[in-house]
A and B are shown apart, each in its own frame.
Chain A
Amino acid sequence: MPKVIASILDSLPAYRERIQQVREIILANAVMFGEIPSPTFHESGRVRFMMDRFTEGGCQNISTDEVGNAVGIVPGKKSKGHIILSAHLDTPFATSVDHTVTVQTDHLVGPGILDNSLGAAVLASLPAILDQLGIQFEHNLILLGTTRSLGSGDIEGMRFFLKNNKLPIDAGVIVEGGTLGRLSYTSLGMSRGVIDCKIPRGYDFSRFGAAGGIAILNRVITKMLALPTPREPATQLILGSMHSGTSFNTIAKTGTLQYELRSEQVGLVGELTDEIESILSEIRSSTGVELSLKEVARRHNGGLDYKHPLLVACREIMKALNVKPGVAPSTGELAALIEQDIPGVTLGLTRGQNRHMFDEQVEIEPIFTGLAQLIAVLQAMDGGICHEEA
């Protein structure tokens, strides 16, 4: 076991108890973040609220940037370096959706509460939590509420911050509402694409025999599904959505298909994307329709090794809290840390259900275990776990 964490493990049960003293602050923040609509590219309401919370929590250097991230720094004792704690602020829900959050004795319900209002709330509550535990880190702790994470946002908020800030960053933790036990330390190769199909004006249906945008996209899909996607290393093609046509009796003139490719094999996502380009080219030439592919997000494979001391520490901390680690690669902000060679993990805070549905839920009780885990991982990073020999 890494030396740094031996004393931390002993403190874990006490952490869990003492964090409960600020339960209402954490829950109130979750409710208030949850009720501010924050679709990707329109996160300014949550950013403003988060910066207000940072101000009230005594953070320093509170600021926002060109892509709208919310940043605040909890100063360390020695200012010897920086650790990032980050949560994304955007949700897949439109502003017009009813964002009311309901509080019951053991759970909260509301759109986006799991992904990721709770994560945002934890960031905003962190100064109060550290106060409650009497903890001051050696490192400066950068609290970073990121924008433009989901969908075509392509984790731009985190990427922008890492590319443009001048601070030396030693390590990072990404927090997500769910699920407690989540331990992500690798990034999947991933590509999100939008295929647009357009039937040109004056198109001769009798000559080409195709029946409009829907039929064309159907041909594209059939060929995409025939692409080789190996089980090992795990590779997956997700057909996310398709829109085409307007009525019963009018041939669809346009169509749009959105998909995501992900793979654990280095370089495979790129190869498959080239294959999709070839499919489109072939159908384009045989049918005369306009077909285009736009890649809106891309991640590269990478991450920490299983035996990395940070991961050993994370597993020990989870074990001490009786939490079973669930290892899953990430396509979120962790990928941006990995791209910059910054050691980091993504952790979940509690159990929840109905992710990305209007009645998303989080359980209250496990949050305190999730927070004890988070504080312990930050302490391990602060103690230099990332620099220990594997």
Chain B
Amino acid sequence: MKKLESWIEHNTFHHSQFYDQLELLKQKEKTGLTISLCIPTLNEEATIGKEIVIFRSELMERYPLIDEIAVIDSGSTDKTLEVAASFGADTYFAGDILPSQGHKRGKGENLWKAIHQLKGDIICYVDADIKNIHPRFCYGLVAPLLYREEMQYVKAFYDRPLAFSQGIRPSGGGRVTEILVRPLFSLFYPELTGLVQPLSGEYAVRRKVLERLPFPIGYGVETSHIMDVYHEWGLEAFGQTDLDQRVHRNQETLSLGKMSFGILQSFLGRMQKMGMEGQLPDMTNTLRQFVAKDQQYEQVLYDIVEEERPPMIEIPEYREKMGY
């Protein structure tokens, strides 16, 4: 596992390494690359305003490191888009992008359609539910791509304190990662265990990679990306940046169960494609959980279908737009 140790040493960063944003801007100009920031949303009016204000101020007006900020929404029923637009973000309803491909509801759908809608050579995805938003959430991820040409896909990871005041409880050490993804990777892709938080929602990726990746539209998008990028471009394509603390909503265990179920579907589907499945049973799309009322227990069935989008480069409109 020397390769993995070397990767951890050379491809793991801390955001403070890129604190000098003027230097970063000079490096960006040297590379000639353009950068888009994409924030996928669904009912995020409480936090979206702050994200837009901070990113616009710090990364567009002070130092024009990013060339556009776009909010791609799955159909919010609150004021998410109104708030985002009022502070100068470009706002889109995912269903209006590439209408010929239809509209599927899910975060992965927004990320996938962003590739068609946004202009940048690098797209940085940042979730909208971050309470302690800071420009590092973007520049910390983009910077390695500006300095290291061989790097394609940079993921965030965080310090996750277990004790926190005022009743906010961070996600307690990434439960799905630790209970599901890390054991799976340890079994089948040991090199990928170097990623501290493979499921983090913040990452920056080069367009030439994004346009060649299929996108599960649901929970499996991050896991499948990691497997696909690893398969196609190898471990060296990955970087990861420590962004310190991330404060966000805590999810209930039942929600994490759904997430895990989606991730498992993506994971096993990929293993099949890569010929690693062995004697796996047929997969169903139904997850079974329990709810309790007094002393009675009921089984609740969830149909969680991990639909998938093809690589963007296979879409005729996209090929035409990009002149391929």
Contact = CB atoms under 8 A, between A and B. Distances in A.
A11 to B, nearest CB: 23
17 contacts: A22-B61, A24-B57, A24-B88, A25-B62, A29-B57, A31-B53, A32-B54, A32-B134, A96-B165, A96-B166, A98-B168, A100-B132, A102-B46, A102-B47, A104-B45, A104-B83, A105-B82
Contact of A28 (B53, B82, B131): B53
Contacts of A105: 49, 79, 82-83, 86
Looking at A22, A28, A29, A101, which has the most chain B CB atoms within 10 Å of its CB?
A28
Contacts of B58: 28
A126 interface: no
A102 B86 CA distance: 15
The 8 residue pairs across chains A and B that have the minimum distance between CB atoms: A28-B57, A103-B49, A98-B166, A24-B57, A103-B50, A24-B56, A105-B86, A96-B165
Interface of B: 45-47, 49-50, 52-54, 56-58, 60-62, 79, 82-83, 86-88, 131-132, 134, 165-166, 168, 247
A27 B131 CA distance: 16
A136 B83 CA distance: 35
Given A35-B132, A98-B168, A104 B57 contact: no
A31 B50 contact: yes
A289 to B, nearest CB: 37
A32 B52 CA distance: 13
A298 B153 CA distance: 60
Interface in A89-111: 96-98, 100-105
Interface residues of A, number: 19
A275 interface: no
A56 interface: yes
A339 to B, nearest CB: 37
Interface of A: 22, 24-25, 27-29, 31-32, 35, 56, 96-98, 100-105
Contacts of A98: 165-166, 168
Contacts of A24: 53, 56-57, 60-61, 87-88
A104 B61 contact: no
A100 B54 CA distance: 13
B121 to A, nearest CB: 24
Contacts of B165: 96-98
Interface of B is mostly: helix
Contacts of B79: 105
Contacts of B45: 104
Contacts of A35: 132
B54 A31 contact: yes
Nearest to A358: B166
Contacts of B88: 24
B62 A56 contact: yes
Nearest to A125: B57
A31 B132 CA distance: 10
Nearest to B57: A28
B116 to A, nearest CB: 27
A35 B132 CA distance: 8
A31 B60 CA distance: 17
Nearest to A26: B57
Contacts of A28: 53-54, 56-58
Nearest to A105: B86
Contacts of A103: 49-50, 52-53, 83, 87
B108 to A, nearest CB: 27
A39 to B, nearest CB: 14
Nearest to B168: A98
B62 A102 contact: no
B83 A102 contact: no
A56 B47 CA distance: 27
Nearest to A57: B62
A25 B61 contact: yes
A32 B88 CA distance: 19
